[in-house]
Structure formats: C-alpha cells, structure tokens
Structure 1
Amino acid sequence: MRRVLAAGLAALLLAAPAARAAPPQPDGYRLEDFRSPTPAALTGAETVTTAQAERLWRAGAAFVDVLPRPPRPTTLPPGTIWRDAPHDSIPHARWLPNTGFGELAPQTEAYFRHGLSAATGGDPDKPVVLFCQRNCWMSWNAAKRALAFGYRHVHWYPDGTDGWGEAGLPLARAEPAGP
C-alpha cells in the first residue's frame, strides 16, 4: 500500500509543473513580457495543435503571422545600411508584424484590420489561424483582437512556426504585408 501511495504521489508531483506552466487568461490583452508561457486556451477561439493547423492550412484557411519586426537600432550612425533579419513563416501566411502587442497605435490597428480583411477576403466567417512562435503572447493578443473585430472562426496556434518546423512542415521566407 505504501508503494502505491508513493507512486501516486510521485506521479502527482511530476505532473504538477506541467499544470502550473500555463498561466490563466487575463481579462484584457497581455501588455508586457510577451515571450513567456501562454494560457492553454483563448475563450472564443479554437486552440489548435500542429496537426490541426496543418489540416486547416491544406483546407485553405487564412493564416496570419504576427511575429514582431525589430526596428532599426537608433544608435546606428547615419548612412549605415540596415538589413532586417530574415523571417521564415508558414507558406502563404500573411505576415502582419507588430500587430500582436497589447496596445496598438491607431495606424497599427488599422493595418491589422486591413490585413485580416485581405487574408480572409473580407469574410468574417472564413477560418483564420493566428500564430507567432511558441511561448509568444503576440498571437494570443492578435487572436483575441480578431474576435473583438467580429471574426467568427478564429483559431489560435500557440506553437506557431516553432511547432510547424519541428513537425517537418515547410517554411517559406516572408516579407511584411503592405498596408
């Protein structure tokens, strides 16, 4: 009996860190510490695994990447050539950088609205998958914002390009979508 209790307690203790890893959903948007563990779900959206995301991709769902684009360092001397780091994303995804922050400037919010509309053909019923990288609140915020904009089939893919690439699925060089 003692061994059974010890084994049960050990299993419970080993499972506890995994259960604590996913923080609760905030009431609003995440405003800081964007590269940290995300909740297990987003109310109103369907949280999808890599296999589910792949099925949606093959079925023609709209994919929107919200990975931020680093700005040109302000400390660079004038005339210094600046090249953005290359960004690989899910093929045919629309990259809308900097649209997953908790607070958006009016111009960035308009860019996000326009980008979502372009990705979905203006159809709020078209399935849309929002992603970034694993442990990135940007995609959680963006999916929450898409719901607030009236999109009805929002899928949040929390493993993003990390999970996609680890599954051996193709990645393609991405450029930011125009306004």
Structure 2
Amino acid sequence: MPTRFAAAGLALLALLALPAGPARAGGIPQPDGFRQSDYRSPTPDGLDGAETVDTPGVQALLAGGSVRPIFVQRLERSTLPGGPWLQSRPYRQIPGSVWLPNVGVGAPDAETMSWFTAQLDHVTGSDRNRDILFYCLSDCWLSWNAAKRAVLLGYARVHWYPAGIDGWMEAGLPTEEAQPLPPPPAPPPGP
C-alpha cells in the first residue's frame, strides 16, 4: 500500500513545512498565583484578563497612540538604605517605555508593590481604562506576573507582549536606551 504511506509522508511534510510560531511553549498552564522563580522559561500562551499581542499587534497599539509600554526587566539594587539600581550593562527598550524594574518578581516586598501601584496610577493618569503594555525579554515570566498584577489591580486594558524586547529587536524595529525610574523608597529602619 504505497499510496497510504505516500499520503502519510506528504501529510508529515506538510506539517513540517508550516511556519513555526514564536518560541512559545504551547500548553504551559497559567498558574493560580504568580511565578516565583525561574523567570526565564517558557510562559503560557496567554493571560486571563489581558490581551496577548505579537509584534505587529504592539506596532498597531503604538500607532494608535494610546498605549503606554512598560518594561519590567529585573535589576539588582544597592544594599545601602535608599540605594540606587545597579545597572551592570545598558538595556534597550521600545521607544516611549517606562522601565519599572522588579515589579514582575513573584513576591515583591510591600515598598515595591506600593511603588508599582503609584507608578501605574501616574503612567495612566489614574485612568484604569488606559491601554498599558507589559514586556520584558522573550520567555520571561516577569512581564506575565506584572501584567497579571495590573489586571488584579483593576486595569481593564492590559496587553502582554511575550516576545518582549528580544522579539522587537529581532524584527529590526527601533529601540532607545532604557533608563529605570528611581527605585522605591527604602523600608523604614526596624525597631
């Protein structure tokens, strides 16, 4: 029955010829809470309450002029009270972005959460219906966590860009040097 084998072979070749999608690990379940570790690993295909967008989708949002991109790459911070971010190398971001480091970690401290909430309020002009776009690097849970936090804070137009700045740069799109906003205030000294 060579025709049945030939048909199966052609079907397999057709499947192999399909264009590969972005490096997305289909089937990664959305956790009930937040990802707590291993932030650079495959992410879910979506996020409940947010719109997952690809590079052309981000371009369309930016062309509309109403979205505010938020870069959430993690940074270390000086251990000095009220110390600055420690940026060991330059980072690139989508033009017009605001860089809010560490707001996508699994369990941020109270100061970071308060800072995140205040910065979102500032970035959106206190409009919970303003479009906001979260991104980091590709395969990075920091942006997924931050977008989920925004959804839980009541923001209605949250967009998540899983390809991140890596996908943006791979598409040859313009970037600018990233400058993190000043860090949240240091916690008050203990008793």
**TM-score class, shorter:** 0.7 to 0.9
Letter paired with 1:119: V
Report the AA paired with residue 4 of structure 1: A
Q: Gaps (5+ residues) in structure 1?
A: 74-81
Is contact 2:76-2:87 (8 Å) kept? no
TM-score (norm 2): 0.80
- C-alpha distance in structure 2 between counterparts of 1:3 and 1:27, whole Å: 46
1:62 to 46, 68, 72: 68
Q: Evaluate the alpha carbon distance shift between residue 64 and residue 3 of structure 1 in structure 2; reply closer, same or farther with a 3 A threshold.
A: same
Structure 2: give runs of 5+ residues left out of the alignment: 80-85, 185-191
- Aligned-pair identity in percent equals 44
Structure showing greater radius of gyration is 2
Find the aligned partners of 1:44 and 1:35 in 2 and give their Cα distance: 22
Other-structure match for 1:43: 48
Deviation at 1:14, TM superposition (A): 9.0
Write the distance in 2 (CA, Å) between the matches of 1:144 and 1:34: 14
2: CA distance, partners of 1:175 / 1:101: 19
Q: How far did 1:83 drift?
A: 5.7
Provide the secondary structure at the position in 2 that maps to 1:38: coil
Correspondent of 1:3 among 3, 6, 11: 6
Deviation at 1:43, TM superposition (A): 0.9
Question: Corresponding residue for 1:100?
Answer: 104
Contact between 2:24 and 2:43, CA under 8 Å: does it hold in 1?
Answer: no
1:53 partner letter: V
Alpha-carbon spacing, 1:45–1:104, altered in 2? closer, same or farther (3 Å): same
Residue 121 of structure 1 corresponds to 125
Matched residue type, 1:31: Q
Deviations 1:48-104 (A, max 9, x none): 01011011122221111100013459xxxxxxxx76321111111110001101111
1:149 is aligned to 153
- Deviation of the 1:154 alpha carbon: 0.4
Q: Indicate if the aligned counterparts of 2:24 and 2:42 stay in contact, CA closer than 8 A.
A: no
Q: Deviations over 1:25-65 (max 9, x none)?
A: 11111111100011111111000010110111222211111
Equivalent residues of 2:69, 2:134 under 8 A apart: yes
- 1:149-176 CA-to-partner distances (Å, cap 9, x unmatched) read 0000000000111111111211111211
Match for 2:137: what amino acid?
Q
